[in-house]
Amino acid sequence: MSAAAIANGGGVAADSAVGLALVGGVAAVALAPVALGAVGFTATGIAAGSTAASMMSATAVANGGWVAAGSTVAVLQSAVAAVVLAPVVLGAVGFTSTGITAGSAAAKMMSLTTVANGGWVAAGSTVAVLQSAGVLGLRKAAIAATACAGGEVTTAVEAAVTALKGK
């Protein structure tokens, strides 16, 4: 537990640096899909005639006709796809809202984890986090697991807006 959490009886004060980072991360995760969709990064691809399409075009021209993996455009489009596809993928491997599906990859992971931990699944383990995400529809688990990623998305959006303003 961090010093900030201990000083606040197990919680983190909203005015502390950790609290502000967490609030910023949660806000970024919650608002990123909306903001990205508004500029044209959608689950089905980049919308024609959108700001995202202009960004993609400029990136492709600058890179000799292609969009590099890891570029701002690629990262932003991947972020949207990840948010949309994560629940589908979790369900497909067996992490569902009703529990782990018998005979699935998730069941195998749980079995291996249980054996490795002497008969139980540790809180915070990969299996526990993925099952929480499956049960909760990614709400709490995604916020906890991707708060830091929200900051990265915010930075990428800021860089993209700055780049567009410069043109």
In this predicted structure, the answer to whether residue 48 has a pLDDT above a threshold of 90 is: yes
**pLDDT, position 111:** 92
In eight-state DSSP terms, residue 101 is P
In this predicted structure, the answer to whether residue 157 has a pLDDT above a threshold of 80 is: no
Query: Are 163 and 55 contacting, i.e. CB atoms less than 8 angstroms apart?
Result: yes
State pLDDT tens for residues 86-143: 777 888 889 888 889 999 999 999 999 899 889 888 888 888 888 887 776 655 445 4
DSSP notation for 103-159: TSHHHHHHHHHHHHTTSSPPTTSHHHHHHHHHHHTTHHHHHHHHHHHHHHHHHHHHH
